[in-house]
Amino acid sequence: MPKIKVAMYGLTSEAYKLAADLVDRAQVTIIDETLQMAMDIEPGFLKKNPNLQEVMSEEPLLSFKPLEQVLGDAQVVFFTPKLRRPSDETLIEAGSKLRDLSKYLSRGVNLVNSLPTAPGGNSENIMAVEKQTGLQVGSTLTYAYMPLRPRDPKPAVVSAAGLQEKGPLQALGYMPNSQNVFSAELEYASGVMEAAVASVTEIEMARRAREARVTLQRKSEVYLDEFSKHLFELKAIQASEDTGEAIAYLAGATLKSFDNYVRYVVDETREVLKEKQLKASRTRITLLWSLDRYEMRGERLQVAESIQQRLRDYVTDVDIVSGSRGKGGPEVFDPLKHNVVIVCSKEDQDSVRAMKKGLGNAEVTLISATPALRRD
């Protein structure tokens, strides 16, 4: 029996991991939407190369196919775009890429939106796709909503409009677990808001504790890497609601708190420079953050670059370094300078501890990018 033909529209880490989950029961092709070219993904290649970042850094020789051929033959198309426009243009970029994809969709295809939306967002997507293609959900097109969390190939919820019984999606193992697309949107958005509000509560209480010079009994070890993953969804939720609606106000306030946290990190670093009387010329600041440059959302990258740019107002030598690739201490620590290292994830915290063992007399101040901004 021939395998189901699946196309991933977007060369992203989430798409690559999703391909690894499906490749044994589907013929999978990943499309680089920027280059407008597609490449087949074989099981053997995926087993040897489980990480997309490493694959792309090595520039492997892959066979490419025309975009029109792949999307014309695909039975299931996953929308997994790489969004990299400035923060306030991300939602526009997502809509633009969906319209670009729609130009190539054919009758009978199953379109799967893996990019999270706010409540009502998929209704707008469906109207845009139907207008672009002339197809209709329920008769000539199936539209599914399976939002992926950052770096996670497992859909948070599964829902579909116009789903056929015993169709390709069910054959791939995706069974709806939500009443309909709108209920799936509400369930996903509810989880995002709950996690985001909990994070900003920790941030704001920790800020007040630092200002009052008191210690909180409840200490959060959630790092910047973890709570910055909600930013795309929060923007979508805020934009989807009328001004004055409680949910829009709550999403906006949460985004504001995250933006303030970037300022708190910069201010804490400035305090270190002041307290230790460090000269800018003899100071190196490293943002230790194992960023995935191929994940769908670009918010983590933008947050890191924002911190870097703000810190360069005070110290010229400011770098963003990954601690997860086995890089040694010399790339993080300069033995001739005082090193201020801002640790942005639990993974990077473990890496820097291992690096410090072989540093000798290097001067180091660690700032953990958690709500409390603990120093070591």
Domain total in the chain: 2
Co-location of 123 and 199 in the same domain: no
Co-location of 297 and 214 in the same domain: yes
What CATH number should be reported for the domain holding residue 347? 3.40.50
Co-location of 199 and 333 in the same domain: yes
- For residue 375, is it within any domain? no
pLDDT value at position 63?
67
pLDDT value at position 325?
53
The domain boundary, picked from 157, 178, 199, lies at 178
pLDDT value at position 61?
52
- Residue 258, number of CB atoms within 10 A of its CB: 21
Co-location of 260 and 360 in the same domain: yes
The secondary structure element, H or E, covering residue 175 is none
pLDDT value at position 326?
45
Co-location of 232 and 95 in the same domain: no
Whose CA is closest to 309, among 275, 266, 339, 349? 266
CA 315 – CA 21 distance, rounded (Å): 45
pLDDT value at position 47?
83
DSSP characters over 117-140? --TTHHHHHHHHHHHHH---BTTT
Co-location of 296 and 321 in the same domain: yes
Co-location of 166 and 192 in the same domain: no
The domain boundary, picked from 134, 149, 178, lies at 178
**Which structural domain range is residue 65 located in?**
4-178
The secondary structure element, H or E, covering residue 221 is none
Q: At what angle do helices 181-212 and 246-275 cross, to 10 degrees?
A: 30
Co-location of 218 and 97 in the same domain: no
pLDDT value at position 49?
85
pLDDT value at position 181?
95
- For residue 374, is it within any domain? no
Co-location of 136 and 10 in the same domain: yes
CA 195 – CA 265 distance, rounded (Å): 21
- For residue 376, is it within any domain? no
Is residue 36 within 8 Å of residue 105, measured between CB atoms?
no
The domain boundary, picked from 114, 145, 178, lies at 178
* Mean pLDDT in consecutive groups of 10 residues from the start of the chain, 376 residues: 92 95 94 90 86 77 80 96 91 95 94 96 95 92 95 94 82 92 96 94 92 81 91 94 86 94 96 94 94 94 96 95 65 87 92 73 90 91
What CATH number should be reported for the domain holding residue 80? 3.40.50.720
